[in-house]
Amino acid sequence: MKNFTVPDICDEFEDVQIGDLFLSSFGRVNKFCGQIHTAKCEHSNSVVKEMVQNDGKGKVLCIEHFGSELCSMVGDQIAQKAFDNNWSGIITNGYIRDIEVIQNIDIGVYAINSYPKKTDKSKGTGEKNVQIKIGNVSIESGYWIYVDTNGWVVANKELKF
């Protein structure tokens, strides 16, 4: 794990995008970073399930939920599979569920809050590795994200400390 704090990054690097959407930590790990892979989902998290099947070493999955219906983008099965496949973390502008299980998985998971309803798989699958927006931050696959309990920032390349 790289030694960083988000405030120090903000002080040292002027060209990072600072997240203005305030997210809560739900996984056992509350500080992580990595190369971003994106998912854009309306009412189904099918692409999220598909993406965490892949090797995630050094990667963070960023999910934009843009649907009008409240539903959970990440549950305990997705978080566990992401951990099993070495993902550094998951961040979403949406909701998660099964937080009593996720809090015991050694992975970073940040979301707005919990919501118990699962997604509706009949309403499309979503898109992967497309440009997304979380709060005021435009994010593309290949960018880097740095997250801790102070907040989160996105850079268009890996930051050198």
- Domains in the chain (CATH in brackets) are 6-155 (3.50.30.40)
Would you say residue 75 has pLDDT above 60? yes
Q: Determine the Cα–Cα distance for residues 108 and 59; give it in Å rounded to an integer.
A: 11
Question: Once rounded to an integer, what is the mean pLDDT over residues 27-37?
Answer: 98
CA angle 83, 88, 89 (to 5 degrees): 85
Q: Specify the pTM.
A: 0.96
Query: pLDDT, tens digit, for every residue of 146-158?
Result: 999 999 999 999 9
Question: Once rounded to an integer, what is the mean pLDDT over residues 116-135?
Answer: 90
| pLDDT value for 2 | 74
Q: Which two tokens stand for residue 81?
A: 């599979």
Q: Which two tokens stand for residue 135?
A: 């709060």
Q: What is the DSSP letter of 26?
A: -
Those residues whose C-beta lies under 8 Å from the C-beta of residue 125, and which sit 6 or more positions away, are: 44, 46, 47
| pLDDT value for 1 | 57
| pLDDT value for 68 | 87
